[in-house]
Homo-oligomer: A and B are copies of this chain.
Amino acid sequence: MNSDILFMPHIFFNPKSIAVIGATNNPKKFGNAVTKNLLKTPQLPVQLYFISKGTKEINHTPTFLSIRDIQDKIDLAIILVPAKFVESVIDECILKQVQRIIIVTAGFGEIDAQGKSLESIIAMKCRSAGIRVIGPNCVGIENVDIGLNASFIQTPYKGNISMVSQSGSFGGACIWEWYEQNIGCSKFANLGNQIDINFIDILKYYKEDKNSEVIAIYVEAIKEGRDFFNELKEITPYKPVIIQKGGRNPTGLAAASSHTGSIATNYNIFKTAVEQAGCVLCENMPDYITALKTFSQLPIPKGGRIAVSTSSGGSSVLFCDHAENFGLKLIDFSKTFIEKVRPHLIPLVKYVNPLDMIAGATEEQYYIVTKAMLEDPEIDIVVPCSLVPPFMDFEPQAHLRGIVRAWDETHRVKPVIPLMVFSEGFQEIKDLQKKSHIPVFFNPRETALAAKFLVERMNFLKRFQS
């Protein structure tokens, strides 16, 4: 392990001091958004300095006119001034001997040849000075572990996913959805035009970072393809890597090229390579979220034998359709299992898989059946299907509460993949999810896809077992 390489992105995520160049109290400027995000964590273990031409005081502290006016050592400078001022600000950063720079400002290589040439000059100057750079044309980075949001986008919940995204907006959109679904994040980086720090640098850091248990990538174009794939190959035996690629066909490629100024890669070659490297490649955003939700919150099963319970016939029928399409297998229930649950269910129930407990099934029945499935040595993956019960005196979260109890009492050893059809809108479900750290799946296809992801990961990991 090359400690230099590791060391490099580490300071971006763990600086002792940050200078925000272009900080402002004007709420219509990105400089303000970054400033506010940095100030949101009261106990942030980072010394902050604000450099501003127009704002005299930020957070009750006088601003500086230049980074050179700051006495202390600066680990990280975040540059938010308009593109035409960036080069001179970089010169000052070099004189100040800052260690790392993030250039948020857009208007460089993604725009025209002049911007391209300007960013090359900046890259060269920083390289000569031994300064590593993220950007330009990016939203910034975050280290949620320590409450550092050095970006103009929102802060996710603390968790175990670390993301590197070529698109800031894709990353930002994911963070909202993580927030909605109580999915947690450790590190976030948006790389922009990548004049220096690239995917491989960040991946090397995430590979070694213990809080980065699941790696999320959004990429539109890769410059050093072979190194990228080799890096992925090194990570996947230890951590699941989830990828989505933008710019997959001529229309998307054209849009991607206009957007980041980078040359995109042939999708079929890309697909083959990342799948060979053991990554999960998703073709759309909902699948990507499903993969992250699954791997960040569920254990890998020991086998692929699935048991389904339901109080909603239609939902489990559709789950079965998707499960078979994904090559998954439902088991037949053993006599032991049937005898265990029969006393707790109504006489109408037939003991086939999916086990349909009929529309009025209770929290207690979900608890008993889910637990019996989790305890059954012939079952590897448990899929309780339900709607938020819309009738009688059920609370919306009743069924899920029974499922959580069963999962907790069996120490969460096996994956449980609860399908609560279209329950996204229920605050009670969100609250229980947040409290219990259980993922909830919202439609039959998503649920089957989660099972498929887990089974494929299990099979992949088996390759490394002697």
Query: Residues of A with Cβ closer than 8 Å to B?
Result: 27-30, 32-33, 106-107, 111, 139, 152-154, 165-174, 176-177, 179-180, 218, 220, 244, 246-252, 254-256, 258-260, 283-286, 311-325, 330, 348, 350, 352, 354, 356, 358-360, 387-388, 390-393, 421-425, 443-445
In the complex formed, the residue of B with least CB distance to A354 is B255
Give the chain B neighbours of A173 by CB distance below 8 A.
312, 314-315, 387, 421-422
| A249 / chain B contacts, CB cutoff of 8 Å | 320-321, 324-325
Task: List the number of copies, as a whole number.
Answer: 2
Query: In the complex, are the beta carbons of A348 and B246 less than 8 A apart?
Result: no
Q: Are A259 and B314 neighbours in the complex by a CB distance under 8 Å?
A: yes
Please measure, in the bound complex, the distance between the C-alpha atom of A319 and the C-alpha atom of B179, giving whole angstroms.
23
Distance in Å: Cβ of A259 to nearest Cβ of chain B: 3
Are B325 and A286 in contact, with the CB atoms below 8 A? no
- CB neighbours of A315 from chain B (8 A): 167, 169-170, 173
Kindly list chain B residues whose C-beta atoms are within 8 Å of the C-beta of A322. Answer: 284
Q: Which residues of B contact A321 (CB under 8 A)?
A: 246-249, 251-252
5 contacts between A and B (CB under 8 A): A152-B392, A169-B313, A176-B387, A284-B318, A285-B444
Q: How far is the CA of A350 from the CA of B112 in the complex (A)?
A: 9
Question: With A258-B350, A259-B316 in contact, is A390–B154 under 8 Å at CB?
Answer: yes
Given A169-B359, A260-B313: 20 more A-B contacts, CB < 8 Å: A32-B392, A33-B391, A152-B390, A168-B313, A169-B312, A170-B315, A171-B314, A172-B387, A173-B387, A173-B422, A176-B387, A176-B422, A244-B318, A247-B317, A248-B321, A252-B321, A254-B320, A254-B352, A286-B286, A286-B443
Chain B residues positioned under 8 Å from A283 (CB to CB):
445
B29→A392 contact, CB < 8 A:
yes
The answer to whether A425 touches B111 (Cβ under 8 A) is: no
Evaluate contact between A180 and B259: CB separation under 8 angstroms.
no
Q: Are A180 and B317 in contact (CB under 8 A)?
A: no
List 8 tightest A-B contacts by C-beta distance, closest first.
A167-B314, A169-B312, A170-B314, A259-B313, A252-B321, A33-B391, A251-B324, A27-B393
Question: Known interface pairs A259-B356, A391-B152. Does A285 touch B445 (Cβ–Cβ under 8 Å)?
Answer: yes
* Residue among A106, A252, A314 with most chain B CB within 10 A: A314
Are the C-beta atoms of B314 and A179 separated by less than 8 Å?
no
Closest to A179 in B: B425
Docked-complex contact A392 and B33, CB < 8 angstroms = yes
Q: Can you name the residue of chain B whose Cβ is closest to the Cβ of A33?
A: B391
Q: CB distance A106 to B314 under 8 Å?
A: no
A29-B393 Cα distance, complex, nearest whole Å:
9
Q: Is the CB of B176 within 8 A of A388?
A: yes
Complex contacts, A180 vs chain B, CB 8 Å: 422, 424-425
